[in-house]
């Protein structure tokens, strides 16, 4: 299991709506995440919209991302969520996730 952290930025005027959508993530999307090795997945948000994501990958960050590219529901979710993020450059949020280096861990 590999611990993964990443950052994204939600547009300030869309924060509350973004949170609402994450109270009821589509069951098909949740199933796809589980199938592709996303475990213990959490999102944390600062008041300005800075979003920190954490999950534990069965294999690697890249393998988890690649697995999701094969899931039809992921493309639909990414299209649906794209307007909520800043600075995606026309791409989807999952194409802008950059793995953060883990510098400390305490069990």
Each residue's pLDDT tens digit, 25-79: 999 999 999 999 999 999 999 999 999 999 999 999 999 999 999 999 999 999 9
What's the pTM? Answer: 0.89
Domains of the chain: 2-95 (3.30.70.100)
Beta carbons within 8 Å of 44's beta carbon, 6+ residues apart? 51, 52, 53, 54
Q: Answer yes or no: 92 catalytic.
A: no
Rg (CA), the chain: 14
The CA–CA distances, whole Å, from 24 to 9, 21, 28, 52 equal 20, 6, 11, 19
Given a contact cutoff of 8 angstroms between Cβ atoms, the answer to whether 76 and 39 are in contact is no
Fill in the DSSP letter of residue 18. Answer: H
Annotated catalytic residue: which of 21, 22, 92, 105? 22
């Amino acid at each position: 299991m590999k611990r993964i952290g990443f950052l994204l930025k939600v547009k300030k005027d869309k924060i509350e709506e973004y949170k609402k959508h994450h109270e009821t993530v589509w069951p098909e999307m949740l199933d796809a995440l589980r199938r592709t090795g996303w475990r213990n997945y959490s999102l944390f948000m600062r008041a300005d919209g800075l979003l920190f994501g954490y999950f534990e990958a069965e294999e690697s960050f890249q393998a988890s991302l690649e697995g999701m590219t094969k899931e039809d529901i992921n493309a639909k979710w990414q299209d649906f969520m794209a307007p909520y993020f800043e600075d995606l450059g026309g791409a989807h949020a999952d194409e802008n996730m950059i793995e953060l280096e883990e510098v400390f861990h305490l069990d």
